[in-house]
Structure 1
Amino acid sequence: MAFENPSRDEIKSILENTKNIAVVGLSDSPDRTSHMVAAAMQDRGYRIIPVNPKGADTILGEKRYDTLSDVPEPIDIVNVFRRSEHCLPVAEEAVKVGAKVLWLQQGIINEEAGQVAADAGLVVIMDRCIKVEDAITRPAR
């Protein structure tokens, strides 16, 4: 059976019930897409948790963590800015830390990572931009 993203109504519900978004691959460089998207989500009221083994100690005013396992608080969404071939270990770690959603950004698809996350009960979203989906499903925030 081919992968299908949740419906827009389901995505809206996910975003309405989200507080913490761990952004894997978040760059400390303001000209990078990951930084721009995370900053926009932060401006919309979400708590952004930077996850990247490289970079400044803080990104967007938040402490940076090397891995998802280092994050000392609950994670609602693991938002991934990594190449598709690097997503399986991220999915496995998202399962391990008890995240609710694995969200692979636009252009990122990894069926195996999605299956690992889905089998563990996570909602999986692939090849969608979280910023765009938030703007479409929750325009007046």
Structure 2
Amino acid sequence: MSFYSDALLKDVLTRTKVIAVVGVSMNPVRPSYYVARYLGLKGYKVIPVNPGHAGERLFGQVIYPDLASIPPEIPVDMVDIFRRSDHVPPIVDEALANLPSLRTIWMQIGVENQDAANMAESAGVTVVQNRCPKIEYQRLFGELRMGGFATGIISSRL
């Protein structure tokens, strides 16, 4: 797993307001669905992107077929990618060409593409690979503790 400082991740999650989720699913048991839903519940505006469901609605938002179809008045500042690693370069190309407010490319757990990361970083965009913003948000803002995780207490009691 790539190393990112907690300060960098916290900065990204604090400054971000609008997230386009590429590869979002309509199926509530899929990670892309519940991550997008969670981010929406945390106050982010989530813009769903999935060509198979274009024009439908998810979380109160229209689903777009691709990043280029998102209207320019929607200031997407982060793209969260739920696609295979080999599909990432054209997504990053499209994001760089069509999203003037773009500040972060975030690739989900298991998704890494160094060529795409280099391209985005060369354009001044922050890149996070092989991480989940939901998990990082919970970890950095103390929510894992609420579920009994990361409490620092070791116990074998039932």
Asked if Structure 1 and Structure 2 have the same fold, meaning a TM-score greater than 0.5 normalized by the shorter chain, the answer is: yes
What is the aligned-residue RMSD (CA, Å)? Answer: 1.6
Structure 1: runs of 5+ lacking an equivalent = none
Tell which has more relative contact order, 1 or 2 (C-alpha 8 A, sep 6+). 1
Establish whether residue 130 from structure 1 lines up as the match of residue 133 from structure 2. Answer: yes
C-alpha displacement at 1:63, in angstroms? 0.7
Match of 1:93 in 2: 94
Instruction: Spell out, residue by residue over 1:17-57, the C-alpha distance to the aligned partner (whole angstroms, 9 max, x if none).
Output: 11100000011111111001111111111110001111261
Establish whether residue 25 from structure 1 lines up as the match of residue 26 from structure 2. Answer: no
| Partner SS state of residue 53, structure 2 | coil
- Is the 8 Å Cα contact of residues 5 and 126 (structure 1) preserved in structure 2? no
C-alpha displacement at 1:139, in angstroms? 2.7
- Is the 8 Å Cα contact of residues 94 and 117 (structure 1) preserved in structure 2? no
Alignment length, in residue pairs? 138
Match of 1:44 in 2: 42
Q: Distance in 2 between matches of 1:58 and 1:138?
A: 29
Q: Which amino acid aligns with 1:26?
A: V
Match of 2:110 in 1: 107
4+ aligned runs moved over 4 Å, structure 1: none
- Is the 8 Å Cα contact of residues 53 and 65 (structure 2) preserved in structure 1? no
| Partner SS state of residue 30, structure 1 | coil
The share of aligned pairs that are identical, in percent, is 38
